[in-house]
A and B are shown apart, each in its own frame.
Chain A
């Protein structure tokens, strides 16, 4: 379905750990959402044209709110000017929202075990994905990772939507100490998952894609590149892949992705960019 460009409004802003969860009214966009798609936001306010690049955010949740139709929720980690501006917005603030953008996670045709791996705010799209998989009776195993407890997304909620949850933090403040790469083989063996979904830094995605290959599983990785327009116009976000035809090429992270088959991404080239 075609994305929309609309004026949205902040309905709520809540601090959760290191993140801000923003609930947005953006007419038409929640209705089109599929897990793995994202929105692009303009930052700086209606009058400001000094910040031209769009800022991309995973759609974390879509829910009906009386009087507004459906709303969408994003998880913002304030790291720079744009995310800082967004995190400081008060309810009622208006902003331009484009979405949903990008290719969603592909859902399995059959009832198969699925492993979902999310690191930091990028775990956001995995929760609605877990719901969809559960609706299809696919057993879901989850790995939630982050630097520390504050950068761990909704671990509590995770326990509701998955049969087994592994928590990993770099500083060991909760769960196992370490990185996704340290636990991925063991979790894959234990879960017997045939499909792996991952969202996080490219280092983590690379490790997950490689592990999936070792275990004979399919992987779908959500790749984040710096996006300028997020709509496929500018050629600013090349992702090196190998096409279906076996030919190496550059595709766009925004409209040809952000979700790619893990065995199609040329990870070494991506990391060398």
Chain B
């Protein structure tokens, strides 16, 4: 029996389990625990045009069943990513999805132009749900209309055939509206689920990830799938076990992303993928 494949945004993936943005390092760190080829895809940490040093300490704090984080989009910038990280990632036998974040529409367009020409990129994921956007200085997309304008700018500057995934906020009240607006703007799929806006114990804006947020993410996925039956949805948020993944797929998601659980156990994504494949 051949392995089941997943069709997402016009791409064929070897399975439905992806690494969520920001939780897989540069990719290399994870390969110590298993080949990336065992996964359907690897989403990079959000890449910005220029390198970013990230936020002050503490950056990550444990909270019941969750992790609060204010890493501040630390990343080496587009140039470094293209020359030192992407070529290696592209050889790992998995789909490489590059997550991007920018301060202006112009930055998003520039990122799209440069990445669209780079061999090895399968898709772009636009991070429209940074939980600490206000402090990290990325384009504020609280309004679905603004999210749509970012997606339109990225879509316009990518070569035809390179899909855009739009990662929207899990704001239950507005998630269906957000999903509809980014799909109308050209997104091939919506990623529903990101860290929830929260606060560090000292009050700094932060994101909350981990099993604590899975039920909310699942509810958002359910509503988007029900409200937009033709949409392709990727579920994310607190997925830590194969049963969690099955629940998101049963709610209508085409694929799932595993994030914070990797920080607790770096083998989580590979184990879930193997379990869904029916491996012993």
Contact = CB atoms under 8 A, between A and B. Distances in A.
Contacts of A2: 32-33
A61 interface: no
Interface string B247-277: 0000000000000101111110000000000
A52 B67 contact: yes
Interface stretch (B50-58, B87-95, B103-111): B50-58
A187 B65 CA distance: 48
B54 A273 contact: no
Interface in A229-261: 229, 231-238, 250, 255
A233 B27 CA distance: 8
A40 to B, nearest CB: 9
Contact of B58 (A226, A235, A255): A226
Given A226-B58, A273-B56, A5 B266 contact: yes
Interface residues of A, number: 26
B67 A53 contact: yes
A176 B71 CA distance: 42
B156 interface: no
A229 to B, nearest CB: 4
A96 interface: yes
B182 interface: no
B32 A3 contact: yes
A52 B62 contact: yes
Contacts of B62: 51-53, 228
A54 interface: yes
Contacts of B56: 273
Main secondary structure of the interface of B (DSSP, over half): loop
B60 A5 contact: no
Interface residues of B, number: 34
Contact of A228 (B32, B263, B265): B263
Interface string B40-61: 0000010000000110111110
Given A50-B64, A231-B33, A234-B60, 11 more contacts: A3-B33, A51-B62, A52-B211, A226-B58, A229-B266, A233-B23, A234-B25, A235-B59, A238-B57, A238-B59, A238-B74
CB-CB nearest 9 A-B residue pairs: A232-B29, A229-B263, A236-B60, A233-B25, A228-B60, A53-B62, A2-B32, A273-B57, A52-B264
Interface of B: 22-25, 29-30, 32-33, 45, 53-54, 56-60, 62, 64-67, 69, 71, 74, 210-211, 240, 260, 262-267
30 contacts: A2-B33, A5-B265, A5-B266, A5-B267, A42-B264, A42-B265, A50-B64, A50-B65, A51-B62, A52-B62, A52-B210, A54-B263, A226-B57, A226-B58, A228-B62, A231-B33, A231-B263, A232-B29, A233-B24, A233-B25, A233-B29, A233-B263, A234-B22, A234-B60, A234-B71, A236-B69, A237-B59, A238-B57, A238-B59, A238-B74
